[in-house]
Amino acid sequence: MSYAHPDYLVETEWVAQHLSDPEIRIVESDEDPLLYAIGHIPGAAQVDWFTTLQHPLRRDFVTRDQFEEVASKLGITNDTTVVFYGDKSNWFACYALWLFQYYGHQKVKIMNGGRTKWEQEKRELVKDVPAFKPTTYKAKEADKSIRAFRDDVFKSLEAKKPLVDVRSPKEYSGELTHMPNYPQEGATRGGHIPGAVSIPWAQAVNEADSTFKTAEELKALYEGKNIKSDGEIIAYCRIGERSSLTWFVLKYLLGYPTVKNYDGSWTEWGNLVDAPIEK
Amino acid sequence: MTVHGPNGATWWMRRSKNNVIAGAQQCCALPGMTMTLPAKLQEIVDDIASMSREEKLETLIAFAETMPDLPERFQEERSKMESVPECMTPVFIIAEKDANGGIVFHLDIPKQSPTVRGLASILTNGLNGCTLEQILSVPADFYLPMNLQEAVSQQRINGFIGVLAHMKQAAVKVSQ
């Protein structure tokens, strides 16, 4: 069994051989934004989930116009293949890929294993920041079929459609409202959305090199918890970054047709007045 | 300006473009705030407050890269610490008294987390050698004048305040 859409995943060796391919833009997207400055893949651009991709005022992503500006500055055209990689098993690489897809950019890939694997293989990292010639980029209307808002979650809840909670077991149980070492981050209530199944994101990746598990392993993992391809699935975590990884796995590695990422996630649901919670 | 490292080591940091003299800028940028921070911490806060966003990021990298490794004598205690696989960044903090009775912190933070290292290093550089009272008197919002929010996410800053809270606990423990 192979991945459903293997085109969306490339290996480090493939990236190493496409460093100066003009059709390709390699983009680093990290949980820790300073990592890029310390060293990145030669020729790679950087997006920061917070300063590049978030709206400066509202809790939302950049607007369509702002996204066009972001892509233009990175020298990305509508035909460029964008390859994302990052730290923490590609959490924010998947998050950036998801946002690019949200604005209609179809040619996207994840570098399997991300920074971890690239570093483990002792491949080159440089500090030079490349300059790109701005492009004329046209974004599409936001694709809401891959993004869940709170009202979508309420509807799923009523219709008993599958919800996947990808946070750590203690966040799911309500013992913690935030990740360890990140106090005050988050929510006034602990627990999970009623009926959500707990499948921590980390179960989809190999701990040793941050690569994705095999198609068989992933199928067994999600189907074993009754998350199947015919379901209309919503994945969530705390702010939507870990669940972007799960979204990527379900959508492209397993090929589930209907998967949404709920980026409001627990920092919205756990603070929302009148929202039901299970513990 | 020069920032004094924990072992008397110094390094040079870029002066801000508007050339504000370190220490000359009052730290009462927000109405109603009065602060009596330890002198070294105050100096760092003032200096960072006067920097552009890019300079702040460069400074955080400089702080991260110059954070000393955990001394050998603490390695055993470090290994006894539970690792938290879901955690973004495991932070290990230990405090000890120096010859003058001041408190010195030793931190161990992975090199793969330069932002957390950089922020935590502001605290160790600003607080090492201080008394317990001085350390406990640092308000949780002392960081506001630095306007770090323009460079790093609020989640990061919350983590930073968490590190300060843990440092205070470690300081109390070593003073008992």
Domain count, chain B: 1
Are A127 and A252 contained in the same domain? no
Are A117 and A21 contained in the same domain? yes
- Select the more confidently predicted residue: B134 or B32: B134
Q: In 3D, which of A173, A153, A174 has the Cα closest to residue A233?
A: A153
Residue A272 CB neighbours (<10 A)? 17
Residue A203 Cα distances to A67, A91, A218, angstroms: 32, 13, 9
Residue A275 lies in a domain: no
Domain count, chain A: 2
Question: CB distance from B155 to chain A under 8 Å?
Answer: yes
Are A189 and A92 contained in the same domain? no
Question: CB distance from B82 to chain A under 8 Å?
Answer: no
Are A132 and A162 contained in the same domain? no
Choose the closest CB to A181 out of B88, B115, B151. B88
Most confident segment among B5-9, B57-61, B156-160:
B57-61
Are A81 and A151 contained in the same domain? no
Residue A279 lies in a domain: no
Counting every residue written for chain A, the total comes to: 279
Q: Please, what is the average pLDDT of chain A?
A: 95
Residue A277 lies in a domain: no
Probe site for chain B from A87, A185, A207 (most B CB atoms < 10 A): A185
Give me the helix-helix angle, B53-65 and B39-49, nearest 10°.
140
What CATH number corresponds to the domain at position A83?
A: 3.40.250.10
Are A95 and A154 contained in the same domain? no
Q: Which domain holds residue A205?
A: 145-269
The answer to whether the CB atoms of B86 and A31 lie below 8 A apart is no
Distance, C-alpha B173 to centroid of its chain = 19
Instruction: Select from A112, A142, A172 the last residue of a domain.
Output: A142
B-chain CB neighbours of A35 within 8 Å are: 112, 114
Inform me whether the pLDDT recorded for B172 exceeds 90.
yes
Asked whether this complex has an ipTM greater than 0.95, the answer is no
Q: What is the pLDDT of residues A156-183, one digit of tens each?
A: 999 999 999 999 898 899 887 665 544 5
Residues A58 and A52: their CA atoms lie apart, in Å, by 14
Q: Please, what is the average pLDDT of chain B?
A: 79
CA gyration radius for chain A? 18
What CATH number corresponds to the domain at position B140?
A: 3.90.1010.10
Q: What is the pLDDT of residues B28-39, one digit of tens each?
A: 344 445 558 999
Residue A34 lies in a domain: yes
Residue A1 lies in a domain: no
Query: Could you tell me if B27 and B145 are in contact, meaning their C-beta atoms sit under 8 angstroms apart?
Result: yes
Pick the residue from chain A with its C-alpha nearest to B166.
Answer: A181
Residue A67 lies in a domain: yes
Residue A15 lies in a domain: yes
B-chain CB neighbours of A28 within 8 Å are: none
Q: What is the pLDDT of residues B31-79, one digit of tens each?
A: 445 558 999 999 999 999 999 999 999 999 999 999 999 999 888 887 7
Q: Which domain holds residue B57?
A: 2-175
Are A87 and A64 contained in the same domain? yes
Instruction: Select from A90, A118, A142 the last residue of a domain.
Output: A142
pLDDT bracket for residue B26 (50, 70, 90):
very low
pLDDT bracket for residue A70 (50, 70, 90):
very high
Are A122 and A222 contained in the same domain? no
Are A249 and A230 contained in the same domain? yes
Which residues in B98-161 belong to E strands, given as ranges? 103-108
Instruction: Select from A127, A142, A157 the last residue of a domain.
Output: A142
Query: Which pLDDT does position B14 carry in this prediction?
Result: 33
Q: How buried is residue A224: exposed, middle or buried, by Cβ count under 10 Å (0-12/13-18/19+)?
A: exposed
Report the pLDDT averaged over residues A7-23: 97
Beta B103-108 vs A81-85: how paired, if at all?
unpaired
Are A135 and A242 contained in the same domain? no
Residue A276 lies in a domain: no
